[in-house]
Amino acid sequence: MADAHKNFAYSTVATAPVPADSGTSLIVASGAGALFPAPPFNVTVWPASAQPLASNAEIVRVTDITGDTFTIVREQEGSAARAIIVGDQIAATITAKTLTDAEIGSIIDKTWAELKALADASSLAPGQLYRITDFRTRHLIPNTTDYNIGPTEPITVTAISVDELAVDAYSEAYPQDVIYYELADSSGSGGDRGRIYFRYDTSDDINVAVWEDWRTVKYRRWETFPGNNVFARLTDAPVDVDKPVLLFLSGNRIVTEEIEYTQPYIGQTIEVYGSTSNDGFYTVANVVGNTIYVEETIVEESAGNARVYYIYAPERAYLDNYMFANPPRNVRIEKALTALSNNVFIGFAYDSTIGAGSANNTFSSLIASEIGNDYRNNSGWVDGIATDGGCDINRSVIKESSMNNTYLTVNDSLIGTFVSGNVVESLNNCEIGNYFTNNIIRGLSDSHIGTYVAGIEITGVPVYPVKKTMVDGLSTFERTVNISGLTTLDITENYSKFAGIIDLTSTNATESINLILNQPSRFDYELRPEIGLTLTINGTAFADIDSDGQILLNSATVNLIGSERECIIFRKETITNGNGTFTIAREVRRVVEVSTGGAGVAKESHMSLVLSATPVSF
């Protein structure tokens, strides 16, 4: 806060401090104390009949005034102590602090180099606003030796000490942005005028927060194949090519699978292995279509299991992309593992969140989705397949540690934790459990894949040709569970946790269930005994419930006759009674045969699944 001021605040010393060069109290001429402003403020003391000079004057700070008595602190603003004597002049003069106080609240223009020099010399004025007139983002483009240099964007920062700035910065070009800035780039990413490391557009129609300068950073993407105009590849690194041999022909010809985009170059050494007579290394003389001509002699033979191996290192065209190709809306991306995430959204990004550790992803679109932590190295393109699709992830939840995936349309889906190494095409309305690894899925829709599944390949028509749905309050997925000889129904069996309809089978004609464990909590679920099975469900009275999984029925027991297509609907519920708090299965409704006076049969109508009255998310 600036000191108070008064005009003509001048007097002489009536009583000198004791000792004269270090005492902390003096008295001015009678009645002159009222001429000075309210403390604290600085005054200059210098000899009578002289001008104040550095050699004869001292600046002291007045911290209290009682009548004409001043309490003072000596040697202010770099001045040296002197022997103050009776008759010395004392006045609230204009000092360096007076001018600095006047400047605080105004903005001082500095180049980045000038401001950095002030900070290095501990010469910043705490509380002062500085405009960095020449700031612009500069960074090394990942996987290259090239730098991206953005346009000049002056930003205003605040000194909080003589050598430190507050992290908050203000951009005149984007006044709606919350910006975090550091004067020296600590990330090593190449910022030569400091670095913006967080940017949040707070406007209602944008609302985008990313832990980097998403307005300016650029990331390079190379063509997946030369000339195909699909820019999704993260690097221009060489590719190992290992192709089956179709024919060995005399005349030095090796015929392989299609190699249009992965041709070896003339003079390159290639290796043949797995043949009967031609294993070894060859020098390429020419390539025509999928025929490689070599300088050495080839023995004509059928290919068998022979393969040809070489390193393909073409020069690929590339594009440098802003993080968002189109204006984003309602997106938050947490901190990546490094300062630069290398994430590119070449389509649209709306209403989505990506967790920490996300890096090296290429999205065609991201809409109404949640992606967990450590989502890395994912693309909408398979290297070697020129598609005009992309990593379309819409209305989806992708849990932590999903890595090294290629997604071509993922809609209305939940993908579980530690998903990695998959190629997914058209995965719609599905939920995939944890640890789902090393799989290829093409044409899968309306299905659930359970936990710990690995090493399978699903191709062709969807598993369920009829559309299935799973949202909060409703699931039309159907699973079958064998309960032969069991009295406890475990709903994790056969991945039925995500099913709203559970068909019960048995090798026996009758079964009895006393407990239901691991119930779904997002929706009610229906139990259906198969034709030929009679199922008895035994309930427990509310006051007697003393463990999880017990069943609360509207009657003591219920018998369901499968041949009559009878069923019962349950809801997972937490109750508290005299024995404690327990998670139970509560009956919602049932469909059973009802006898009416021995004549006629009436059935309660039912739906395949009812909506939960109070749906909750698991």
CATH number for 58: 2.40.30
Classify residue 401: in a domain, yes or no.
yes
* Mean local confidence (pLDDT), 444-450: 46
- CB crowding 35-62: b at 16 or more within 10 Å, else e: bbbebbbbbbbbbeeeebeeeebbbbbb
Give me the pLDDT at residue 53, please.
95
Classify residue 221: in a domain, yes or no.
no
Nearest to 207 by CA among 178, 180, 167, 171: 178
When comparing pLDDT for 469 and 304, which is higher? 304
- Written as one letter, the residue type at 375 is Y
pTM here is 0.52
pLDDT for residue 612 is more than 70: no
pLDDT for residue 18 is more than 60: yes
498 and 593 belong to one structural domain: yes
Structural domain of 75: 10-95
Give me the pLDDT at residue 344, please.
87
Answer yes or no: are the C-beta atoms of 411 and 391 closer than 8 Å.
Answer: no
457 and 479 belong to one structural domain: no
What's the number of domains the chain is made of? 5
Classify residue 205: in a domain, yes or no.
yes
18 and 85 belong to one structural domain: yes
pLDDT for residue 159 is more than 60: yes
394 and 434 belong to one structural domain: yes
Give me the pLDDT at residue 102, please.
72
Classify residue 82: in a domain, yes or no.
yes
pLDDT for residue 96 is more than 60: yes
Classify residue 525: in a domain, yes or no.
yes
Q: Tell me the Ramachandran region of residue 525: left when phi exceeds 0, alpha when psi lies from -120 to 50, beta otherwise.
A: beta
* Mean local confidence (pLDDT), 493-514: 82
* Mean local confidence (pLDDT), 266-273: 90
420 and 495 belong to one structural domain: no
Tell me which of 438, 468, 498 is where a domain ends: 468
332 and 302 belong to one structural domain: no
Confidence of residue 290 (pLDDT cuts 50, 70, 90): confident
Cα gap 122→164, rounded to integer Å: 8
Confidence of residue 371 (pLDDT cuts 50, 70, 90): confident
511 and 573 belong to one structural domain: yes
* Mean local confidence (pLDDT), 400-407: 46
Average pLDDT, the chain: 80
* Mean local confidence (pLDDT), 396-406: 47
Residues above pLDDT 70, as percent of the chain: 75
Least confident among 57-66, 166-175, 227-236, 389-398? 389-398
Cα gap 429→421, rounded to integer Å: 21
* Mean local confidence (pLDDT), 47-75: 96
pLDDT for residue 385 is more than 50: no
Cα gap 278→615, rounded to integer Å: 67
pLDDT for residue 611 is more than 60: no
Tell me which of 47, 74, 95 is where a domain ends: 95
Confidence of residue 419 (pLDDT cuts 50, 70, 90): very low
Classify residue 225: in a domain, yes or no.
no
Give me the pLDDT at residue 235, please.
81
Residue 509: both structure tokens together: 């004609």
307 and 410 belong to one structural domain: no
266 and 211 belong to one structural domain: no
Classify residue 446: in a domain, yes or no.
yes
Tell me which of 53, 78, 95 is where a domain ends: 95
Give me the pLDDT at residue 369, please.
66
Q: Are strands 510-513 and 534-538 parallel, antiparallel or unpaired?
A: parallel
Classify residue 333: in a domain, yes or no.
yes
Confidence of residue 472 (pLDDT cuts 50, 70, 90): low
307 and 330 belong to one structural domain: no
Three-class SS state of 338: coil
91 and 202 belong to one structural domain: no
CATH code, 440:
2.160.10
Cα gap 513→502, rounded to integer Å: 14
19 and 71 belong to one structural domain: yes
pLDDT for residue 86 is more than 70: yes
Give me the pLDDT at residue 551, please.
96
